[in-house]
DNA sequence: TTCATATATGAATTACAATTCATATAAACA
DNA sequence: TGTTTATATGAATTGTAATTCATATATGAA
């Protein structure tokens, strides 16, 4: 495993839309699997699979409390890197590639909806 | 195209071993396609494909000089992000995942061999 | 114009990753 | 114990990306 292969693996692990959504939620604090699935409106098994991938790369760690399993980002510098890359991408207009979406700003499903409202 | 999709696309564009190798070479200055292929010991067409992908995401830009086409990173902050992620990955031992390689440090083909030695 | 050099491109193949679905495990509780 | 809730897992499918190969394009030189 070369240095670049490891780094690439790490970047690709972060570079998946659903995992980015998960990570952005986790930058604000730990969340359990069910919450993540509910907020992001995705299947629980899908979230579990993604969390497993993130954990495998040491990007998140988990903590069990009764039935629930809470996940959080392993290190604040990681959270910062994710935000930095987002800022950079926006400021430099990177990846406006792949046709369309010039000047528009959509934001559906980005994780800012209600939570902790039921139960 | 959501914000996360764009960011993910950007991160995955960087997150490929050969493209990382290319980018690391380019952090030290512009290079033409042939040089990159020679130094990395990969097919010229492969390098061209990867450069096209990077260009599509505005990560690199090109400049033609006679027959040769020179590529460079579009922005220094991008180069910094790449280095930052490398440092972070190493310091946090991220992505030691995927079995094996604990404690070893390989470095074959990472782009530090001779260049400009022929011609 | 013909040849050599440099780069790009498209099609085909292969490899890998995301998603879904069904189900397993395990804790809490009635 | 049986039931509900929460999470994990494996197999199957699908989608996407990397690589190779053959070839096109374009520039410069003989």
Q: How does pLDDT run across A5-41, given as a tens digit for each residue?
A: 999 999 999 999 999 999 999 999 999 999 999 999 9
Domain ranges, ordered by start, for chain A: 8-91
Mean pLDDT of all residues in chain A? Answer: 83
List the single protein residue with the shortest CA to C1' distance from D26: B67
Q: Is B81 on the interface with A (CB under 8 A)?
A: yes
Higher pLDDT, A2 or A51: A51
The encoded tokens of residue A93 equal 């207009």
B92-102 pLDDT per residue, tens: 888 765 433 33
Answer yes or no: is pLDDT of A104 > 70: no
The number of residues in chain A equals 119
Q: Is A103 on the interface with B (CB under 8 A)?
A: no
Phi and psi dihedrals of A93, rounded to 5?
A: 55, 40
Structure confidence at residue B97 (pLDDT): 55
The encoded tokens of residue B76 equal 């220094």
Q: Is A112 on the interface with B (CB under 8 A)?
A: no
Nearest residue on chain A to B106, alpha-carbon basis: A2
Answer yes or no: is pLDDT of B117 > 60: no
List the single protein residue with the shortest CA to C1' distance from D4: A67
Contact A72, A29 (CB under 8 A): yes
Q: How many CB atoms within 10 Å of residue A108?
A: 8
Task: Tell me what the mean pLDDT of segment B10-25 comes to.
Answer: 97
Nearest CB to B56 within list A12, A56, A97: A97
Answer yes or no: is pLDDT of A117 > 60: no
Report CB contact under 8 Å: B11, A11.
Answer: yes
Q: Is A81 on the interface with B (CB under 8 A)?
A: yes
% pLDDT > 70, chain B: 80
Q: Which fold has domain B3-91?
A: Arc Repressor Mutant, subunit A (1.10.10)
Pick the CATH number of A8-91 from 1.10.3470.10, 1.10.10.10, 3.40.630.30, 1.10.357.10: 1.10.10.10
DSSP secondary structure letter of residue B101? -
Q: Grade residue B48 by pLDDT with cuts at 50, 70 and 90.
A: very high
Contact A15, B12 (CB under 8 A): yes
- Helix A17-26 × helix B3-14 angle, to 10°: 110
- Which nucleotides in chain D lie closer than 7 A to a protein CB? 5-11, 17-23, 26-28
Of B46, B44, B78, the C-alpha closest to B61 is B78
- Label residue A42 exposed, middle or buried (CB < 10 Å: 0-12, 13-18, 19+): middle
């Amino acid at each position: 495993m070369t240095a670049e292969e490891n780094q690439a693996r790490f970047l690709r692990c972060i570079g998946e839309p659903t995992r980015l959504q998960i990570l952005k939620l986790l930058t604000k604090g730990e969340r359990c699997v069910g919450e993540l699935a509910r907020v992001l409106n995705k299947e629980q098994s899908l979230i579990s699979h993604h969390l497993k991938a993130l954990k495998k790369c040491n990007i998140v760690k988990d903590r069990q409390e009764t039935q629930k399993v809470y996940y959080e980002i392993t290190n604040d510098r990681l959270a910062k890197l994710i935000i930095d890359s987002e800022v950079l991408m926006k400021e430099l207009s990177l990846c406006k590639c792949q046709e369309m979406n010039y000047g528009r700003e959509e934001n559906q499903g980005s994780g800012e909806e209600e939570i902790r409202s039921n139960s």
